[in-house]
Structure 1
Amino acid sequence: MDEALLRSLTPSVLGILVRRGADFAAGEDAVQDALVEAIRVWPAGLPRDPKGWLVTVAWRKFLDATRADTARRRREDLVEEQPPPGSAPATDDTLQLYFLCAHPSLTPSSAVALTLRAVGGLTTRQIAQAYLVPEATMAQRISRAKRTLSGNGASPARAEPRARGMFDRPGDVATVLRVLYLVFNEGYSGDVDLAAEAIRLTRQLAAVIDHPEVAGLLALMLLHHARRAGRTAADGSLVALAEQDRGRWDTALIAEGVEILQAALARDRLGEFQAQAAIAALHADAPTADETDWVQIVEWYDELAGLTDSPVVRLNRAVAVGEADGPRAGLAALADLADSSPGSSTRGHPLPRYTAAAAYLHERAGDLATAARLYADAAREAPNLAERDYLTRQAARLNTHRSR
């Protein structure tokens, strides 16, 4: 059974059903039923037109379900107006599904789960394993998301001009990209590599929509993913960027990411993901950590801060300033951020990784006692075990050095 083929066909099959009049929840259920049937039947012989076969079976499953509904006559009237299922049309409805899954009425976690299910073609079990939650919990999350979409009348067949028009409204593309970025940042767990899956989905989106920020996000993902092999040691522990073996980085992915980024930047419509990708490209371009162009990275962070005004961006900029202009300048930039954030003390700062950044800059400045204390504080605040272990080792290293 070719699972990759099934996953690649899932979004377009669902898009066809939705365009013909199925609401999102009913259409998605029908597609899943068709996939189960394909898994049962296809091993005996792959159909000549796999997509057309899935559309036909899914549409029949949908009709079987809707005929039992109180709206049977209304649905049957709609069916009479549609062409026979037969062979699948060549149109690609994947884009429509992206925007449905990123509907503003959904929470980010629900939008991510629904995107993986409807566009990614993953099973509920696979998504649950990737998120390290029980399958029943993930099933409820996806079910609620589908009900929310159905309750909002997300059926383009009844209002196709409105649905297609929403693709052009400001912010819609940004919503889809945020969902994909959330998928990418979930990392690597379970039997589904969410980072690789996010790249696959973003490539799919880039193939159907010409937008510089879509290209920017794809470039950013490729450039980050290229460094994946160098991020962990043989024992699974984290390796800081400056200490990574750059010979383990994927040069082909870096070259592809840089090429995509350059084409996007040439359109002179700078956005958040393009700026982030430019920073990632400068890191990837440096043969060694010491040869990193930190001055230009600070300039890109200035651009990014102007686009987002994000405290996380300003935190990262402070670290970059510390590399470009010295640790004291970095600490001053960090102090400005603390003064403008709720709670001005370093320990317990509400901004994630603030304490770790302060520890690093204090170490660079030679204040090892303060750095060791802050590394220990940062370890207690770490969002995951790998970071906690890394920060604990940094604190222990400095304390050992001081005791000699």
Structure 2
Amino acid sequence: MEVKKQLELTLKASRALNLLETDKINLILNDVADAAVAHTGDILDENQKDLARMDPADPKYDRLKLTGDRIAGIAADIRNVASLPSPLGRVLSETVRPNGLKIKKVSVPFGVIGIIYEARPNVTFDVFSLCLKSGNACVLKGGSDAIDSNTAIVKVIHSVLEKHGLDKNILALLPADREATAQILNAHGYVDLIIPRGSQGLIEFVRKNATIPVIETGAGICHTYFDEFGDAVKGRAIVENAKTRRPSVCNALDCLVIHESRLADLPQLCADLPVSNVVVFADEKSYAALNGKYPANLLEKATDESFGTEFLDYKMSVKTVASFDEALDHIAHYSSKHSEAIISENEQRLNLFRKLVDASSVYCNVSTAFTDGAQFGLGAEIGISTQKLHARGPMALEELTSYKWLIDGEGQVRPK
């Protein structure tokens, strides 16, 4: 279907969502979760076609890959979204003016939300569930890497929508070509908001080329600072988890910053990383501390490019600093404002880190792997916003609403 025609149909379908009751929405979401599990075999068959076209060594391979367990987890997230309170119709403020006007500020849907994403078929389910629960229609522009997976997932969702008598155009999947990207980025009057999910390159492309509002999400250059007062046992577990749990996701650790007084503990902090074949790019001092105590084939000397890089792979840099202030300066210079962590037993340091580090999520003695909508109790997420306008951090139901003013009176007119 022609992209403009599809956008017209989705816009029209979005208006009907304003009349959909919460109980009906929840019923549909639970049915979609059931259908996802029931059609696991079909979805995995199509996912295998996508995987066959990608090199398993590509960092995006893990993001692209679906399994029975992952689909079960996706279904659980959809059910969680269904169980959450509706974000719509909340009275954000209310007042009665001296002239008798009753004024309310009430949460409402954006209308139509466009999502541009790469090899992440789970996003198709996540976006639909959050958009439906928040009363939004959604237009998806996935990458060619996941076209078969996304098509299969949308087919499952459409079948549930039609079963419930809804217009399937509240969920649209555009062609995976550049022309469709150009059209959605300039879809004035059809799309209210664009949210890119993917690499830094994708996000920068969308920001530079979109002429409709954009919320930046996804790029995570994440640091963990091991302070001079850090606990090495905690640090070892946190570093291993943040780096190796799922290295291809945006909350994975990219750079370990360590106070020079604790370099003797660096081999212990990195002791579990060789199991996952993590390549460490170490600066001069940290290289000396690891040399002979970390596998030689996995230890390299850092270059300028080793810092400020989102590896999305089993790779990590190490930066040695002489002071807490130097650690803050390094993080501020290279951070993408996604997730930053400190490991310290000094409460004053922890409080300063909380106040001075500019990121959507700031952790004290915790792995950055927790930056996730489900882990934050939000049910799921549509992305991690790294900007400050409108939304920041995991974006879920509340962040997918705007508001409008409702004014009631009894014939009042404004004096001339």
Give the TM-score taking structure 1 as reference length.
Answer: 0.27
Query: Higher strand fraction: Structure 1 or Structure 2?
Result: 2
Higher relative contact order (CA 8 A, sep 6+): 2
Give the TM-score taking structure 2 as reference length.
Answer: 0.26
Query: Higher helix fraction: Structure 1 or Structure 2?
Result: 1
